[in-house]
């Protein structure tokens, strides 16, 4: 085998993990990938740990609803909680105003209460599996204690404290100020220069959040190739630094072929979709329909340093606001059909049981 003979053997001691333990907000993953939290614990679990450092995440917006802002706000807040430098760009005239809407982390007490309730509900349905759940629960509880540092639940109703917003590590940029995207590219590259990768491993990670990149206000409509060049350059810059970039864009504003090109650029590709107000058909099909605010679709999960694709158990998740304040993602559960036979009942119970397990620990 070539690996053994070679100088750079794959069997080397990994010292990065030790270091990472001291860096809050970063987690060591497989294949030499370091994860950073998306700000939504459920999404981190779905993606296998979070967003890999050095990856480009793209979120396709729903043209009629601002659901992408939920992801963006949690992503930004999580970075600020960990005091990671942030570059935020948006087509708004005063992007700094958006910082006022960022959610603050739930206090641990609330967190506990929030967690306990759905678990009990799950157990009531599948009481006969209680003994299996026991272990699982403990383990996930312990897990949670460890991970407290890594990702937080956010209270969408409570704005982030002024204290964390006032630090000098937040850059807010209005895309309107950059009639040529080259200038914005330079801005990003100077921001990312601080996080250049070196052998010492990541000490600090940066986040770039770009909202509605191809919105008409920015005036980039006639510059399709320039835009995609910009994304290509941003991707390669991010890849060689300890940072992640999250871009949201409305695909309907791009021509179909460019929308596809943009999607190919993404390492991790997500899309959000709102639920039409009163869709009776859907309400009949899905359980917990009234709490749902929208759907999140995972199109692509980053494959960095590996060729194996991540096959998720489900690719569409419902976005729910638990107790109207914290965003959770759940797999879709089909409602049991009325007057169904015994077998199908058993099936649906098993189904909800397994999905519960998935939301505890992916």
Applying CB under 8 A, the residues found at the interface with other proteins are 1-3, 6-8, 10, 31-32, 182, 185, 224-226, 228-230, 232-233, 236, 239-240, 255-257, 260-261, 263-264, 269, 299-300, 303-309, 311-315
Tell me the closest approach of the beta carbon of residue 179 to other proteins, in angstroms: 13
Tell me the closest approach of the beta carbon of residue 9 to other proteins, in angstroms: 9
Which positions ≥6 away from 195 have C-beta within 8 Å? Answer: 202, 204, 205, 206, 241, 242, 243
Q: Looking at beta carbons only, is 168 or 309 nearer to other proteins?
A: 309
Q: Looking at beta carbons only, is 108 or 306 nearer to other proteins?
A: 306
- What radius of gyration do the chain's Cα atoms show? 21
Tell me the closest approach of the beta carbon of residue 335 to other proteins, in angstroms: 21
Q: Looking at beta carbons only, is 146 or 307 nearer to other proteins?
A: 307
Neighbours of 225 (CB within 10 A): 10
Q: Looking at beta carbons only, is 182 or 340 nearer to other proteins?
A: 182
Cα–Cα distance for residue pair 168/148, rounded to 1 Å: 25
From residue 173, alpha-carbon distances to 65, 327, 349 in Å are 23, 27, 50
Q: Cα angle vertex 289, ends 286, 290, to 5°?
A: 160
Tell me the closest approach of the beta carbon of residue 92 to other proteins, in angstroms: 25
123 neighbors 130 (Cβ within 8 angstroms): yes
Q: Looking at beta carbons only, is 314 or 337 nearer to other proteins?
A: 314
Q: Looking at beta carbons only, is 106 or 227 nearer to other proteins?
A: 227
Tell me the closest approach of the beta carbon of residue 285 to other proteins, in angstroms: 18
Q: Looking at beta carbons only, is 112 or 260 nearer to other proteins?
A: 260
Cα–Cα distance for residue pair 90/106, rounded to 1 Å: 27
Tell me the closest approach of the beta carbon of residue 13 to other proteins, in angstroms: 17
Cα–Cα distance for residue pair 335/332, rounded to 1 Å: 9
Cα–Cα distance for residue pair 146/148, rounded to 1 Å: 6
Q: Is 226 exposed, middle or buried (0-12, 13-18, 19+ CB in 10 A)?
A: middle
Tell me the closest approach of the beta carbon of residue 342 to other proteins, in angstroms: 28
């Amino acid at each position: 085998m070539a690996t053994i003979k070679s100088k750079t053997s794959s069997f080397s001691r990994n010292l990065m993990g030790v270091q990472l333990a001291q860096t809050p907000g970063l987690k060591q993953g497989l294949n030499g990938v370091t994860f950073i939290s998306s700000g939504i614990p459920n999404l981190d679990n779905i993606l296998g740990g979070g967003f890999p450092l050095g990856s480009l995440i793209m979120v396709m917006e729903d043209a009629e609803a601002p659901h992408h802002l939920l992801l963006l706000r949690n992503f930004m807040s999580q970075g600020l909680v960990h005091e990671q430098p942030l570059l935020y760009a948006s087509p708004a005239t005063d992007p700094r105003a958006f910082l006022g809407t960022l959610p603050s982390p739930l206090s641990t007490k609330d967190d506990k209460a929030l967690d306990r309730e759905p678990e009990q509900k799950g157990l009531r349905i599948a009481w006969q599996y209680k003994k299996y759940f026991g272990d699982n629960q403990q383990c996930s509880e312990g897990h949670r204690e460890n991970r407290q540092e890594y990702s937080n639940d956010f209270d969408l109703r409570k704005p982030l404290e002024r204290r964390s917003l006032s630090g000098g590590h937040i850059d807010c940029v209005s895309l309107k100020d950059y009639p040529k995207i080259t200038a914005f590219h330079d801005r990003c590259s100077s921001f990312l220069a601080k996080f250049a990768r070196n052998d010492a491993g990541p000490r600090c990670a940066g986040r770039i959040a770009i909202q509605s990149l191809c919105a008409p206000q920015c005036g980039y409509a006639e510059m399709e190739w320039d835009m995609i060049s910009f994304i290509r350059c941003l991707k390669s810059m991010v890849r060689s630094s300890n940072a992640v970039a999250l871009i949201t864009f409305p695909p309907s504003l791009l021509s179909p072929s460019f929308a596809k090109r943009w999607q190919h650029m993404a390492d991790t590709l997500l899309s959000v979709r709102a639920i039409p107000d009163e869709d009776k058909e859907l309400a009949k099909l899905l359980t917990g329909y009234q709490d749902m605010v929208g759907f999140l679709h995972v199109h692509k999960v980053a494959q960095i340093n590996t060729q194996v694709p991540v096959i998720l158990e489900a690719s569409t998740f419902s976005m729910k606001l638990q107790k109207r304040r914290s965003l959770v993602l759940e797999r879709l559960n089909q409602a049991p059909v009325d007057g169904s036979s015994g077998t199908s009942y058993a099936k649906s119970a098993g189904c909800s049981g397994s999905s519960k397990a998935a939301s505890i620990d992916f």
